[in-house]
Amino acid sequence: MEKDKLRAVGYRRVSMKEQVDGHSLDAQEKNIRDYVKHNDWELIEIYTDAGISAKKDSHRPALAQLMKDAEAGKFDVVIVDKVDRFYRHLAGLLTALDELRGYNVSFVSVQERLDFTSPWGKLMLTVLGILAEIYLDNLRQETIKGKRQRAREGLWNGFSPFGYCRGLCAECQEPNGKGYCPEYNSPNKTNGKRLILHPIDSEVVKLVYEWYLQGDQSDSKIAERLNELELTLPSGYSIKVRQRGHPGYSEPGPFTRDYVRDMLKRIFYTGKLPYKSTKELGGRRTKRSEMREMEIFDGKHPVLISEEAFNKVQELRSLNGTNCKARGGAPVQSFPLTGLIFCSQCGNTFRGVSSYGRRYYRDASRIERTCDCPQESVRADDLELQLVAIIRDLSYNWQQSQQIYNQVQKEEDAERRLERAKELYIAGEISREVFQTEKNRHENTRKSLQNTNLGATMALAQELQGNLDAWDRTLPTERKKLLRRAVRSAFVRGDTFVALQPTEAFSPLVELKSGICGEGGIRTRGRDL
């Protein structure tokens, strides 16, 4: 009786995208077919993963399908041209082979002539697996070195960020190229080794930053606006904009909140080149034993967003905590006093809440029901305008006070006195000891006046005065920042502020009220805590 032929499948793989169009895949297939023919087996299928690495945790669709078919009993043996085509990571390799063995599936490597079911085959397979892993680790280290050196030279690694392209217009294969970019099929603008601004995508990035800096636009809202935008260039060229996707991974399409967020956080647009280097923390390397250190280099690509605008966006994002999202078509209410105001009776902080479109500040203890504080909720507009009025009045009164004149006059008098002493000393009318005493007096006066930092205090007072006068036209995020320039904490009883704790910079502006201050702060409206 004729023995049944073994049902064999082949597996082939190339790791680099440029190998896909080469001869490696064909060569692997030929060796697999020749081996099957030599052993008189039946070739069922050849699984192919093209342009995918065999390192640990890499996702290979064809290999995943192969393992499913092995479990289903569709074949008896897997054939590869070389072991490293199957796995480069020893643990992954041995795990996969053990899994195949559990399915009664054998494994053969053509060039290494290995059959893992034999004892010698197991030994040789382990040795070759270790060598493949060493090679991968070495390649990883060399790749890291190369990428870091490119970053040092101001050259980017990987895909060009949205907003840029390689400038190879005549041979463009960018997702946002043919049928989208007005420069498609025109002469090349670079040799492909440096980035230029994409004529459409770069304008989209500028709009994203411009809209966000308006202060009332969330990532989601900006994405919605972009998906409705038809951009017209000065040349008259018009196109409905879209995100580019990631070549080989995702297709161009509508913008998402995450896509917008990534744009707003990308320092690359300022002409800087970030590079995340890996630092091992010791012991066996795992994902947890490594940490990422960000290095910033000067890039050779054109600046798209100014550093000032980029930093402003990061500041706004920090102040927002989470973006000003929209609910039911209405923007979420902003509460600039959150974190600043406290209940004078129980000491708990106030939180901003909204009810039927109105804003309130409520004692956190009443929200969480942790105590029976009698403090009622207070209309947010009332408290905010009270605090604005207090800070504005203090700034105005300080600027108008005689104290400023006295300090300036003291400085001028001290200078005139020293000059007069110099003249008398040179004329021989006073002794050296008297002149030295006058110099010491002048130095002490000067130090005393410097300690008041009059110029900085005056600048702060003028800034606060001007900005608070325009409170109604100030963005919500700017209001929060502005109030924190002057106040560290404020205490509320009923619907009124009863005490303020000023910032260090604002403290000189409240010194005139020091007679009625508590330690480190001031009372308001003459009320006690």
User: pLDDT tens, 411-462?
Assistant: 777 788 888 888 888 888 888 887 888 888 878 776 665 555 566 777 777 7
| Of the candidates 243, 172, 160, the residue with the CA atom closest to the CA atom of residue 197 | 160
User: pLDDT tens, 309-323?
Assistant: 998 888 777 766 544
CA atoms within 13 A on the CB side of 464: 30
Q: How far apart are CA 29 and CA 10, in angstroms?
A: 8
Please determine, for residue 20, whether its predicted confidence score (pLDDT) is greater than 90: no
Split into its structural domains, the chain has a count of 4
Same domain, 298 and 358: no
Structure tokens at 224: 């919605």
Contact 80, 109 (CB under 8 A): yes
Least confident of 77-81, 257-261, 272-276: 272-276
Same domain, 280 and 295: yes
Task: Give whole-number Cα distances, 347 to 335, 378, 382, 492, 521, in Å.
Answer: 19, 16, 20, 10, 16
| Of the candidates 412, 493, 408, the residue with the CA atom closest to the CA atom of residue 452 | 408
Same domain, 316 and 390: no
Give pLDDT, residue 32.
92
The pTM for the full model equals 0.49
Q: What is the mean pLDDT of residues 287-302?
A: 70
> Is the backbone of residue 163 left (phi > 0), alpha (psi -120 to 50) or beta?
left
Same domain, 473 and 412: no
Same domain, 392 and 475: yes
Give the pLDDT band of residue 199 (cuts 50, 70, 90).
Answer: very high
Domain membership flag for residue 486: yes
SS3 letters across 87-109 = CCCHHHHHHHHHHHHHCCCEEEE
Q: How far apart are CA 292 and CA 278, in angstroms?
A: 5
Number of helices and strands in the chain (H, E)? 15, 20
| Of the candidates 385, 497, 122, 59, the residue with the CA atom closest to the CA atom of residue 249 | 59
Higher pLDDT, 353 or 475: 353
Same domain, 260 and 296: yes
Contact 241, 275 (CB under 8 A): no
Same domain, 391 and 414: no
CATH of the domain at 291: 3.90.1750
Same domain, 121 and 230: no
Same domain, 204 and 102: no
**Bridge partner list, 360:** 353, 379
| Of the candidates 110, 93, 117, 97, the residue with the CA atom closest to the CA atom of residue 34 | 110
Domain membership flag for residue 2: no
Least confident of 13-22, 79-88, 190-199, 276-285: 276-285
Tell me the residue range of the domain where 27 lies. Answer: 7-146
What is the three-class DSSP state of 332? coil
Structure tokens at 484: 């924190």
Higher pLDDT, 203 or 193: 203
Q: What is the mean pLDDT of residues 231-257?
A: 83
Give pLDDT, residue 406.
60
Same domain, 443 and 511: no
Same domain, 365 and 513: yes
Give pLDDT, residue 320.
62
C-alpha triplet 199, 200, 204: angle, nearest 5°: 125
Tell me which residue has tokens 């082939």: 12
Q: What is the mean pLDDT of the chain?
A: 79
Same domain, 390 and 409: no
> Is the backbone of residue 226 left (phi > 0), alpha (psi -120 to 50) or beta?
alpha
Higher pLDDT, 127 or 280: 127
Contact 27, 111 (CB under 8 A): no
